[in-house]
Structure 1
Amino acid sequence: MKIFTIVLTISWLLCPGEMKEWPTHTICKTKDFEAYYKSCDPLQDVGISFNPCSRNLKQHIIAKIGVTLRQDINLLSINTRIYYNGAYLFHEEKTLCEKTAPKLSFCGKRKGEFVLYNHSVKFGFPSLPKGEYFITLELLNENNYIVACANATLYSHPPV
């Protein structure tokens, strides 16, 4: 009976199911601001949150990102693209972890470990202008494997 249960569980895990992509998650929603994201890594979902939920960026925002590693991260880079109302706005590639100079606490973590980024973020402008923002984030390790990947959509609605 145990073997049957194990075989059934493994086949259930390995068989393709109905889900073709990860669901869209709501980060937050207020009268003047909405934020949603979806993992673009076909094998794993990520967790993202930030607080407070506001288009006002004068204050520090606490950003949290959680993921279980499928790859080691001796070297880690982030690739960010931002679109505003459908038009390409910005692209940045930045190294977050290097073998000789780790900048973040999770640099050097190994496959299977859970990583939680939980830090305050400060932006260089007071608020998001009215509009729709689409942001792609990719974290890549030294072998160019995706460590985490997400697509976020932000809606900024100034008060009337």
Structure 2
Amino acid sequence: MKISSIVLTISWLLWPGEMKEWPRHTMCKTKDFEAYYKSCDPLQDVGISFNPCSRNLKQNIIAKVGLILRQDVNLLYSNTKIYYKGTYLFHEEKPLCEKTAPQFSFCGKKKGEFIFYNHSVRFGISSLPKGEYLILLEFVNEQNYKIACVNFTVYSNPLD
């Protein structure tokens, strides 16, 4: 009985399903602020959280990100695009891991290792203006292999 249950469970987990994309995850939701994310990498979902959940960005925000590497990370580059109310607002590309100057603890990690980033972040602005934001964030390594890809949707609605 146990063996058939195990075989059935494994078959169910490995059976190709109808899922065509990863689900949208709720990061946080308050009266005046909502943040959601979805992995845009077809092979891997990502775990992300921010605390506290607030449109007030003056304070330190603790960011937690977890994922399993499918490729080595010797060099890593981020590509960020931000849209505000559907209009292109900002684009930034920058190196995060370089051979001579690794900025983060996950630089140099190998395929199969688990990355858990748990640090304070600052955004450089005090609060988000009212509106809807779409943030596209992609990380690629030295072979231009996608390490992680995440689409964020943020709704800021200040209480008047």
- Separation in 1 of the partners of 2:73 and 2:8? 34
**Secondary structure of the corresponding residue to residue 70 of structure 1:** coil
- Separation in 1 of the partners of 2:28 and 2:121? 17
The residue aligned with 1:33 is: 33
- Separation in 2 of the partners of 1:47 and 1:14? 21
Deviation per CA, 1:123-151, whole angstroms, max 9, x where unpaired? 22110000000000101011000101110
- Where structure 2 has 5 or more consecutive residues not aligned to the other structure, the ranges are none
The residue aligned with 2:46 is: 46
After TM superposition, which residue ranges in structure 1, 4 or more long, deviate above 3 angstroms? 4-15
Cα shift at 1:16: 2.3
Cα shift at 1:64: 1.1
Distance 1:9 1:110, change over 3 A: farther
How many positions carry a matched residue from both structures?
160
Q: Which moved more, 1:14-23 or 1:95-104?
A: 14-23
Deviation per CA, 1:74-107, whole angstroms, max 9, x where unpaired? 0001000000000000000010001222111110
Alignment of 1:4-153 (within 5 A): 15-153=15-153
- Separation in 1 of the partners of 2:13 and 2:34? 34
Distance 1:54 1:6, change over 3 A: closer
Q: Tell me the TM-score normalized by structure 1.
A: 0.91
Q: Tell me the TM-score normalized by structure 2.
A: 0.91
- Separation in 1 of the partners of 2:85 and 2:105? 35
- Separation in 2 of the partners of 1:107 and 1:122? 21
What amino acid sits opposite 1:65 in the alignment? V
CA RMSD, 1 decimal: 2.1
**Secondary structure of the corresponding residue to residue 115 of structure 1:** strand
Q: Sequence identity, in percent?
A: 76
**Secondary structure of the corresponding residue to residue 65 of structure 2:** strand
- Separation in 2 of the partners of 1:157 and 1:136? 21
- Separation in 2 of the partners of 1:61 and 1:5? 44
Deviation per CA, 1:27-46, whole angstroms, max 9, x where unpaired? 00000100000000000100
What amino acid sits opposite 1:45 in the alignment? D
What amino acid sits opposite 2:137 in the alignment? L
Q: Which moved more, 1:67-76 or 1:121-130?
A: 121-130
What amino acid sits opposite 2:19 in the alignment? M
What amino acid sits opposite 2:26 in the alignment? T
- Separation in 1 of the partners of 2:143 and 2:8? 35
- Separation in 1 of the partners of 2:147 and 2:50? 20
Deviation per CA, 1:32-66, whole angstroms, max 9, x where unpaired? 10000000000010011101100011111111111
What amino acid sits opposite 1:61 in the alignment? I
